[in-house]
A and B are shown apart, each in its own frame.
Chain A
């Protein structure tokens, strides 16, 4: 993205209240999870620190879990794990998806057809069912969660990048580079890649929000993060067992999870509106 383009985008983002809300919320959650270990939140591993299934008190602001551990540091840890796992998976999606999308859009022909078919196949698997299959093959855990999230977010990402790359490849500067004798590799890396960055960023925020939904869904089913590690989804899984005795154990990670995903969605919406504002005509 060019420098003036970036300045315009930033100005539009600053004016977008919902987008700013998302950005601030996301930043707070990320800071909390990164600084969690050094903040005085209490020990997440100390068993019997407080009463079992104890309600929120001054000493334990989010109550205690079924082993009497303080819940606040566990939730903070869960935020970090949820973000880290989903981001790792989406980073893989970004790397593979950008390469495949540009290749499909620019090279066309057999390459395009082949990539489109593979994307179709992956797209046809419902993510959680695919997660069940992967869990059956490699066993539940972080690796299978990352595999499932990447394969679930890849097809849509490739399709979007492909269509943007196709339109960029038809523009004058790309054609000029071809005429000047640039190799296909050079055209793809130097002329197409920088011009799909905007679309890629927007699509990545959506992939991240879907990835967080899938990660928490897998962990909720017991197929994601395994104890003693915890993500927001696996905390909710444990908490839902005690829903009638100590509802906060399920409700707190649930609300935090929804807020975390919403912050990503709001930021994504704002970036997209900033890059491509749709000014519809008023009907009156």
Chain B
């Protein structure tokens, strides 16, 4: 019950957000050069196909009606047709989504434990009187190196000396697991450094904030060991900001880590959207932005569920924050 009271309004807000995202993308499509039939069908469409699109989306009708019809088509999974492959855009995305999902999952699997552990240690060290400069420096440095800078360095190093990893050349997961992981290693490495820094900084702040609270003083006074205090009194209380940042970061990765995918020729959705922009395949760009926003909003919903599970006070009383 508590969960429902907490989640239902948030679900409503997520729906409103998705509606806003769709509206913004719709406006962007209207502003695109060439008009909507060109966007959906490409410049080489036959007049009949244009007439069909005009009828389906009611291009002669008021803009509000057009938006309603467009939204209705989206809800049925009709994201338009790629002018390059002549196939529904949604199929093209579903075909590439597993690659991006794998890249995102591996990156998070690396970033979350390392960033979390370093963050907790750095905060405890800072509270223990050392200045905690190491954690701060690693956090600031990692958050400052763009993935394409790190990626370029990795490509240079691994293509100059044979160190066991190939640069470029992607093997699908279903084909050969070991070879797939080897082709994922460099993109994951160049992406996860920012993730490690992001999670380190968030964890460090959250833990340091908990360490200022009274119940920590009480636990120290009771003579509990640092390890016990961290496990029983700190981690859960510090978890919420870390969950928020992790969800945001994972949503960003799922939206297609465009640059890493391009650099390392990983055939995921980010690479697809970028190459579609180069080919003026706007229906793909449009669908890509919508799907990325959808992934992002869904993950934030999941984070909301996690808040309620972590903190039993959430949803018990309603307060304005």
Contact = CB atoms under 8 A, between A and B. Distances in A.
Interface of A: 17-18, 22, 117-118, 120-121, 123-126, 128-130, 132-138, 163, 209, 213, 216-217, 220-221, 233, 236, 239-240, 243-244, 247, 250-251, 254-255, 257-259, 261-262, 264-266, 269, 278-284
Contacts of A265: 140, 143-144
User: Which 3 pairs between the two chains have the least Cβ-Cβ distance?
Assistant: A280-B211, A280-B127, A121-B20
A137 B31 contact: yes
Interface string B262-300: 110000001001100100001001101100110011000
B285 to A, nearest CB: 6
B302 interface: no
Given A124-B297, A129-B273, A251 B152 contact: yes
Nearest to B256: A129
A209 B144 contact: yes
Contacts of B212: 278-281
B312 interface: no
Do most interface residues of chain A lie in helix, strand or loop, or is the interface mixed? helix
Contact of A236 (B152, B270, B273): B152
Nearest to B25: A133
Contact of B277 (A17, A135, A251): A135
A214 to B, nearest CB: 9
A128 B258 contact: yes
Interface string B216-234: 1100100000100110000
A135 B10 CA distance: 32
A129 B292 contact: yes
A10 B270 CA distance: 44
Q: For the side of the interface on B, what is the size category?
A: 35 or more
Contacts, number: 184
A125 B126 contact: no
B128 interface: yes
Contacts of B17: 117, 120-121, 124
A120 B152 CA distance: 34
A254 B153 contact: yes
Do most interface residues of chain B lie in helix, strand or loop, or is the interface mixed? helix
Contacts of B159: 243-244
Nearest to A222: B278
A221 B274 contact: yes
Given A17-B133, A284-B128, 13 more contacts: A22-B140, A124-B297, A126-B296, A135-B277, A136-B282, A236-B152, A240-B263, A258-B141, A278-B209, A279-B212, A280-B127, A282-B127, A282-B220
Contacts of A278: 205, 208-209, 211-212
B155 interface: yes
Contacts of A17: 133
A240 B124 CA distance: 41
Contacts of A279: 127, 212
B226 A283 contact: yes
B144 A221 contact: no
Interface in B143-180: 143-146, 148-149, 152-153, 155-156, 159-160
B226 A247 contact: no
Contact of A250 (B13, B152, B216): B152
Contacts of B21: 121, 124-125
